[in-house]
Amino acid sequence: MTPRPATFAIPGDIDRKTGGYIYEKSLLHALRDQGRRVAHLELPGSFPDAPPGDMAAAVAALNAVPAGEALILDGLVCGSIDTAGLARVAAPLVAMIHHPLGLETGLPPARAAELLRREAANLALARHVVVPSPHTARILATDFGVASDRISVALPGFAAPDPLRAPTDPPLILAVGLIAARKGHDVLIAALSRIVDLPWQAQIVGGPHDENVAAALAAQARPLGPRLTFRGGMEADDLAALYQQASLFALATRYEGYGMVFGEALLHGLPIVTCAAGAVPETVPPGAGILVPVDDAAAFAEALRRLLTDHRLRRSMAEASTAAGHLLPRWSDTAAVMGRVLDAL
């Protein structure tokens, strides 16, 4: 049977260094590598807050996809596009949902409610929904009314584990995440401020998302001086080198639909300190990290202190992290799940 062709509609620059964009670009290429014809349709990059002109342009572009092709629609668009316009699309729709848009940290209540309502309405138009984690699948089934037989979990793929280690002295605490409220960098900084008596250095890697958050974080970090550095977005090779130098991975996230950076930390055998939020307890395996409550800087600081001072615990968690990294799926596995969905439409 000839694989069903598809169009993968993604807003803005597909090369953005966020987990969702890395997932979708990697999946696009993996589907093509498996012999499937998949077109990339770039939609306006303003979603989920698209102005009327961008909304109209996106609706027109989606309606131009032939009915014989599958349409894979990125969640930033699927959760916010005009419902009436989406209902006119002839191509069978597969929604690619990383996490519900209305659950983003810091949204005004009215905007969050609007997004949750629209996402539920738009998901009802999808033939199938693909998500990166069992957690997101449960959320869509219980809170959005999506039947479980219309949801498939396609875990993110990863490269082969990286055995190279070049830890620095003092130990490097590495955080990787967009400069956005949801990533909890403010909690990490507060935690670091509680362990200034210990030797460490820290780097936060992540591209800009919210200028107000970035300014607040810079002011909050100022008392830590050169011990904490904001690196901005980084290319994959440079980030890999930083993972090799790190002794700990720390992200005080408030919510994750999966959290691909945790997989990257596992690939590099790093002990992890993070929060029991969203899909994180499913993504970070037992023994490979310490999970604390969301927004608890004191608990986060204590976890960092334990791993910085207890070398046996740090070594044990590094071994567990390394073992888990060897079990992570590859992008060919992710594409196989999506391929079965497309061919069953």
Which of 228, 273, 223 shows the shortest CA–CA distance to 252? 273
- pLDDT tens over the chain, length 345 residues: 789 999 999 999 999 988 899 999 999 999 999 999 999 999 999 999 999 999 999 999 999 999 999 999 999 999 999 999 999 999 999 999 999 999 888 889 999 999 999 999 999 999 999 999 999 999 999 999 999 999 999 999 998 888 888 999 999 999 999 999 999 999 999 999 999 999 999 999 998 888 999 999 999 999 999 999 999 999 889 999 999 999 999 999 999 999 999 999 999 999 999 999 999 999 999 899 999 999 999 999 999 999 999 999 999 999 999 999 999 999 999 999 999 999 999
pLDDT of 85? 97
Is the CB of residue 75 less than 8 Å from the CB of residue 47?
no
| pLDDT recorded at residue 102 | 92
Computed from CA positions of residues 93, 333, 323, 17, in that sequence, does the dihedral angle turn out positive or negative? negative
Q: What does the pLDDT read at residue 33?
A: 96
Domain ranges of the chain: 6-157+329-343, 172-325
The 8-class DSSP code of residue 208 comes to: B
Integer Cα distance of 115 and 279 in angstroms: 20
Count the neighbouring beta carbons within 10 Å of the beta carbon of residue 217. Answer: 21
48 cis-preceded (ω within 30 degrees of 0): yes
pLDDT at 106: 84
Can 6-157+329-343 and 172-325 be said to share one CATH topology?
yes
Q: Which helix (H) or strand (E) holds 291?
A: strand 289-292
Radius of gyration of the chain (CA): 20
pLDDT at 266: 96
Cα atoms in the 13 Å half-sphere on the side-chain side of 292: 22
Q: In the sheet where 172-176 sits, what is the strand order?
A: 228-232, 201-205, 172-176, 248-251, 272-275, 289-292
CA distances 63 to 58, 133, 335, Å, are 9, 29, 25
CATH-assigned architecture of domain 172-325:
3-Layer(aba) Sandwich (3.40)
Give pTM, 2 decimals.
0.90
CB atoms within 10 A of CB 124: 13
Describe the chain by its helix, strand, coil percentages, rounded to 5.
45, 15, 35
Degrees, nearest 5: CA angle 265-267-272: 25
Closest CA to 306 of 256, 250, 235: 250
Cβ atoms of 217 and 179 closer than 8 Å: yes
The distance between the two most distant Cα atoms of the chain, rounded to a whole number of Å, is: 64
Alpha-helical segments (H) within the chain? 19-33, 52-63, 75-78, 83-87, 109-123, 134-143, 185-193, 211-221, 236-245, 260-267, 280-283, 297-309, 311-325, 331-343
Give me the CATH topology for the region 6-157+329-343. Rossmann fold (3.40.50)
CB 151 within 8 A of CB 137: yes
Report the C-alpha dihedral over residues 173, 174, 177, 182, rounded to 10 degrees.
Answer: -10
Residues in Cβ contact with 204 at an 8 Å cutoff, skipping those fewer than 6 apart: 175, 176, 177, 179, 185, 188, 217, 228, 229, 230, 231
Amino acid symbol at 149: D
Q: Which long-range contacts (CB under 8 A, 24 or more apart) does 163-166 make?
A: 163/269, 164/244, 165/244, 165/268, 165/269, 166/244, 166/245
pLDDT at 62: 98
